[in-house]
Amino acid sequence: MAGSGGEATGGSSGGPPSGGLVTDDFEGAMLDPAKWEIGGNGQGTVELTTEQAHGGQKSVKVTVTSGQKLFINKSVFPLPNGVIHFRVWMRFTNDQWQNHLAFVAAGPGPESQEVRFGGQAGYYHANLAGDYDGLSPNPFQPCDICTPPVANQWVCLRGMFDFANDDARLYVDDKLAVDATDPSDWHSGNGNLPENPTQIGFGWALYGAPMNTVYYDDIAIGYEPIDCN
């Protein structure tokens, strides 16, 4: 996945480029309603801010005190080959990730059926909510790719969910942090990604983790790998 495929550099005007790619640098006056809707049952806020920015002057600020709060894209669905890729720059203020949290979630809609990227046990992880709440990498075994979070700096996340082949991968600043390609890569369950996905969301979800303030910028979503550049 690294360094190949459809590259995107942000941009908030117009529709998705050819190939189904959606990009946003969040420099407008509000979240683009053609691309995003707010979801999640948690307590918190999703808003544009000038407090932090990776590129330009603005980013999306997500503050969550309980539950899940996301800004969600549905326009890239249905997926022509069952695969979705994303690239996002993210900055968070709390790196205490011992308890479960999530920041990217995709699936058919219900929170209980999501596949997520997030963290637990002090590292980035994938999580299958509908398959025995499996985690990958296994937080209870030695792990060569386990990557700890670092607070108060921008990090590039490149991720992929392959719903057709039950595959999930996440790169943190181009370092492989999640490589869930086989049922044995999950600490429990069968490694089955949800069927019939209809949305992907970015934000924050607390499942025992402390509250956090997170900033998102320069998001790109599509059907091919997307560079950090």
Domains defined for the chain, CATH in brackets: 24-220 (2.60.120.200)
What percent of the chain lies above the pLDDT cut of 70? 91
At 115, the amino acid letter reads V
User: Once rounded to an integer, what is the mean pLDDT over residues 2-26?
Assistant: 49
* Backbone dihedral region for residue 23 (phi beyond 0: left; psi -120 to 50: alpha; all else: beta): beta
| Model confidence at 7: pLDDT above 80 | no
Q: How confident is the model at residue 2 (pLDDT cuts 50, 70, 90)?
A: very low
Give 14 or 70, the one with higher predicted confidence. Answer: 70
Rounded to a whole number, what is the largest CA-CA distance in the chain?
Answer: 46
> pLDDT digits over 47-72, tens only?
999 999 999 999 999 999 999 999 99
pTM beyond 0.85: the answer is yes
Beta carbons within 8 Å of 205's beta carbon, 6+ residues apart: 40, 42, 64, 67, 68, 69, 70, 101, 102, 103, 105, 116, 118
User: Once rounded to an integer, what is the mean pLDDT over residues 119-137?
Assistant: 93
Q: Say how many CA atoms lie within 13 Å of 53 toward its Cβ.
A: 14
> pLDDT digits over 198-226, tens only?
999 999 999 988 889 999 999 999 999 99
User: What confidence score (pLDDT) does residue 34 get?
Assistant: 96
Tell the residue number behind the tokens 């030695």, with chain if given: 142
Tell the residue number behind the tokens 């998705």, with chain if given: 16
Which sign does the torsion angle of CA 184, 209, 122, 4 carry? Answer: positive
Quote the CA–CA distance of 82 and 183 in Å, as a whole number: 18
Quote the CA–CA distance of 48 and 177 in Å, as a whole number: 28
User: What confidence score (pLDDT) does residue 8 get?
Assistant: 34
> pLDDT digits over 148-207, tens only?
999 999 999 999 999 999 999 999 999 999 999 999 999 999 999 999 999 999 999 999
Burial pattern 128-164, b for ≥16 Cβ within 10 A else e, equals bbbbeebbbbbbeeeeeebbebeeeebbbbbbbbbbe
- Quick check: helix, strand or coil at residue 71? strand
